[in-house]
Amino acid sequence: QVRLVESGGGLVQAGGSLRLSCLASGSIFSINVMGWYRQAPGNQRELVATITSADMTNYADSVKGRFTISRANAKNTVYLQMNSLKPEDTAVYFCSADSFRTKYWGQGTQVTVSS
């Protein structure tokens, strides 16, 4: 079992920045990929960014050049640095972890970008 707890969401003006954090606990040795997804009202959950245990990253086209995913293994934490935020980035952001073909999810953190 893997437990994920997100933090760092909030309200920010367009053009601003936020950093999300995701702390993993439990069977963290088994995690091979961690990521961030988001879900806006009325929309499906969508991929934002992922990072592998080898630090290979992948981003949605809509966030490339603005968002950066990183990890601090010693702290069992994955970050999402979000710059140049836009109103369309408004969503609940979820942390995920892939372990033994099971995807675990955090509870989500709200990000609201005002215009």
Tell me what the mean pLDDT of segment 6-26 comes to: 97
Rounded CA separation 47/38 (Å): 7
- Per-residue model confidence (pLDDT) at position 96: 97
| Residue range 97-109: mean pLDDT, rounded | 94
pLDDT at 81 over 80: yes
Task: Name the phi and psi angles at 89, rounded to 5.
Answer: -80, -5
**Per-residue confidence (pLDDT) for residue 100, from 0 to 100:** 87
Q: What is the pLDDT at residue 83? A: 98
Query: 42-46, 98-102, 111-115 — which is least confidently predicted?
Result: 98-102
- DSSP letters for 21-37: EEEEEESGGGEEEEEEE
CA distance 69 to 57: 7
| Tens-digit pLDDT profile for residues 20-79 | 999 999 988 889 999 999 999 999 999 999 999 899 999 999 999 999 999 997 768 999
